[in-house]
Homo-oligomer: A and B are copies of this chain.
Amino acid sequence: MSFESDTQVSPAEAGGYDAVIHDGWDIGGNANGGYLLAMAVRAMLAASERDDPLTVTAHYLRPGRPGPAHVDTEVVKAGKSFTTVRAAMAGSDGRLLMSLLGTFGGHDLDGPEFVDGAPPELPGFEECARMRPTGDFPSGFGDRVDTRFAPDEGFMSGVKSGKGRLSGWFTFPELDSEAAIDPLGLMVATDAFPPVVFNLDVPAAWVPTVELTVHVRARPAPGPLRCLFTTRFVTGGFLEEESEVWDGAGRMVAQSRQLALVPRA
């Protein structure tokens, strides 16, 4: 039972890839969106015959439940440097869970460098308490990932910060501190934390993702990841949530933005 084993896919005879939505990756019964994304992107990556995802977009259509799943993949264009793939993931009843589009390639390009930003300031990984599911909010997912917040990070301590910001550490519990999280693991990192909107003084009970786009900017160096999540606009029944993910070498390795619904509580 690990992220690696629970996101495996295998080529199906009739085309596409067979997968299994494993039990235990759920939040309140529905599989975590980043977990489903990682599995679908593993299939797309295989279809692309490239090294890494560069940019992937998923539109979430229905909640995923444990059981067999299938990822249909179609190479849209195989170019010199990049391959673009579209995909659809279906559950055991054949109904679509996600529709996806991604471009794959390698992180071996060269070019000018400019960085305006820094990893979020956090107490050390060992100094932050691991977030654990509570009886109020049962979640297998909380056991599959190791997410840790700064002690004063707001609503988890019972007080909303009022700021559209949340930061913390991310890794998988089965990894030792010298192991590197791969680009598929980044898919999970970008959707593994509680919604930032829970830190705001607005009534929001659940925040279903409509669309999530992840840019992978580099393969992470070894060690847990420092993640920063922000929400700046809650308007008209929607919000955006962004993430920045920084690796153990202090490099920004992934950015994401999602559009989510924020139904009146």
Chain A positions within 8 Å of B, measured between CB atoms, are 54-55, 57, 59, 61, 76-77, 79, 82, 84, 86, 88, 96, 99-103, 107, 109-117, 164, 197, 200-204, 210-211, 213, 215, 217-218, 231-240, 251-252, 255, 257, 259, 261-265
B109 touches A96 (CB 8 A): no
Pairs across A and B, CB under 8 Å, 22 listed: A57-B213, A59-B84, A59-B102, A61-B76, A61-B79, A82-B210, A86-B99, A109-B237, A109-B261, A111-B263, A112-B262, A113-B202, A114-B164, A116-B231, A116-B232, A213-B213, A213-B257, A215-B257, A217-B235, A217-B236, A233-B255, A235-B252
Measured CB to CB, the nearest residue on chain B to A81 is B261
Q: Are B86's CB and A259's CB within 8 A?
A: no
State the CA gap A210–B114 with chains docked (Å): 19
CB distance from A64 to the nearest CB of B (A): 14
Which one of B96, B217, B233 lies within 8 Å of A252 (CB-CB)? B233
Besides A112-B204, A114-B202, A217-B233, 12 other A-B contacts (C-beta < 8 A): A57-B57, A59-B101, A61-B79, A61-B84, A103-B210, A107-B236, A113-B234, A114-B164, A115-B232, A116-B164, A217-B236, A235-B251
Residues of chain B contacted by A76 (CB below 8 angstroms):
59, 61, 88, 96, 99
Chain B residues positioned under 8 Å from A55 (CB to CB): 59, 210-211, 259
- Chain B residue numbers with a CB within 8 Å of A233 are 114-117, 217, 252, 255
**A262 in contact with B111 (CB, 8 Å):** yes
**For the complex, what is the distance from the CA of A101 to the CA of B213, rounded to whole Å?**
11
**Distance A261 CA – B200 CA, assembled complex (angstroms):** 36
A200 to B112, CA, bound (A): 10
> How many Å lie between the Cα of A75 and that of B262 in the bound state?
24
Known: A54-B259, A211-B57, A213-B57. A238 touches B111 (CB 8 A): yes
Known: A116-B232, A218-B236, A233-B117. A84 touches B99 (CB 8 A): yes
Q: What B residues does A57 contact at CB under 8 A?
A: 57, 101, 211, 213
Q: Which of chain B's residues has its CB closest to A112's CB?
A: B202
Contacts of A109 in B (CB 8 A): 236-238, 261
With A77-B96, A115-B232, A259-B54 as given contacts, are A217 and B238 in contact (CB-CB < 8 Å)? yes
